[in-house]
Amino acid sequence: MTTGTAHTLTTQGLTVGYGGEPVIRDLDLELPTRGITMLVGANGCGKSTLLRTLARLQRPQAGTVLLDGRPIDRRAPREVARIIGLLPQAPIAPDGITVGELADRGRTPHRGWFGRRSTRDDEVVADALLVTGMTEFVDRPVDELSGGQRQRAWVAMALAQEPDILLLDEPTTYLDLAHQVELLELLVRLTLDRGTQVVVVIHELNLATRYADHLIAMKSGRIVAQGRPGDIVTPELVRAVFGLNAVVIPDPISNGPLIVPGRAANAPSTTAVPEALGGR
């Protein structure tokens, strides 16, 4: 088992769009070099666009992404792939590919021009399957797995890449609650055992506040607040970012903030909501 090297991943004046109005505007960001960073915000706020840009899949309209102080677009793709791994939304596996074959694809950035397997490749893939609990499924076709198993198979591929920075775009989508927790616990172990820097786009706000070491709240392509969840999550922040009246109470398990949703901020006043949640 290897321990990840800490890298700096920052943006300066980053503006990103898809031909029309920018999705992200003049964004300066320095990601923590340790732990789990989670990006939250309403749909369309720029979370996924930011993640794709950090992974060099989306070209900025202005500004730059810096990896260890150097513009990421001036570094060799193979070099970047050895440092940064990306698990996109709803990845699709080729028909018939097995879990072991999928995990093995994560070794591509580490192989020479002729793509020959090495003993090291076999060891890393085996370790990735073990860590994700997928060893017993090594010969199973990915398309025969349950949703939670399939997501773990993709995480195994990302781990086999041995990235020091792992970016995940909505990895808990389509998973039931038990599998969401299982996946997030796995990410916690990666940060503690391997020193992997993990950045996650996530919709489940209460899971974000429980598992994030650093939380970034976005709206309209800008950062509204960032820091430890217990320091920044307030009813005012939830209303500003999500347009939702809410009560924030201590989580009985983590002692961090727990959001109890009330009425949408623009909901008709006739909606019946208990007084404690913003009703009359």
What one-letter code names the amino acid at 170?
E
Find residue 71's DSSP bridge partners: 66
pLDDT at residue number 194 = 87
pLDDT at residue number 174 = 74
φ and ψ at 100, to 5 degrees? -65, -40
- Nearest Cα neighbor of 87 from 25, 147, 27, 155 is 155
**DSSP count for the chain of H helices, then E strands:** 9, 12
- Nearest Cα neighbor of 11 from 237, 242, 196, 221 is 221
* CATH architecture of the domain with residue range 9-228: 3-Layer(aba) Sandwich (3.40)
What one-letter code names the amino acid at 271?
T
pLDDT tens column, 201-247: 999 999 999 999 999 999 999 999 999 999 999 999 999 999 999 99
pLDDT at residue number 126 = 96
What is the residue extent of each domain of the chain? 9-228, 234-280
pLDDT at residue number 78 = 86
What one-letter code names the amino acid at 280?
R
pLDDT at residue number 19 = 80
In Å, how far from its chain's centre is CA 187? 10
Compute the distance between CA of residue 115 and CA of residue 74 in angstroms, rounded to an integer. 24
pLDDT at residue number 280 = 39
Three-state secondary structure of 43-89: CCCCHHHHHHHHCCCCCCCEEEEEECCEEHHHCCHHHHHHHEEEECC
Residue with tokens 């038990």: 178
User: What stretch of H or E contains 15?
Assistant: strand 9-16
φ and ψ at 52, to 5 degrees? -65, -35
Question: Are the CB atoms for 99 and 145 separated by under 8 Å?
Answer: yes
pLDDT in tens, the chain (280 residues): 456 678 999 999 999 998 878 999 999 999 999 999 999 999 999 999 999 999 999 999 999 999 999 999 999 988 898 899 999 887 888 899 999 999 999 998 887 655 677 888 999 999 999 988 899 999 999 999 988 888 889 989 988 998 999 999 998 887 888 888 988 998 999 899 889 999 999 999 999 999 999 999 999 999 999 999 999 999 999 999 999 999 999 999 999 999 999 888 776 655 444 554 444 3
Compute the distance between CA of residue 25 and CA of residue 63 in angstroms, rounded to an integer. 10
Residue with tokens 């969401």: 180
Compute the distance between CA of residue 116 and CA of residue 126 in angstroms, rounded to an integer. 17
pLDDT at residue number 90 = 79
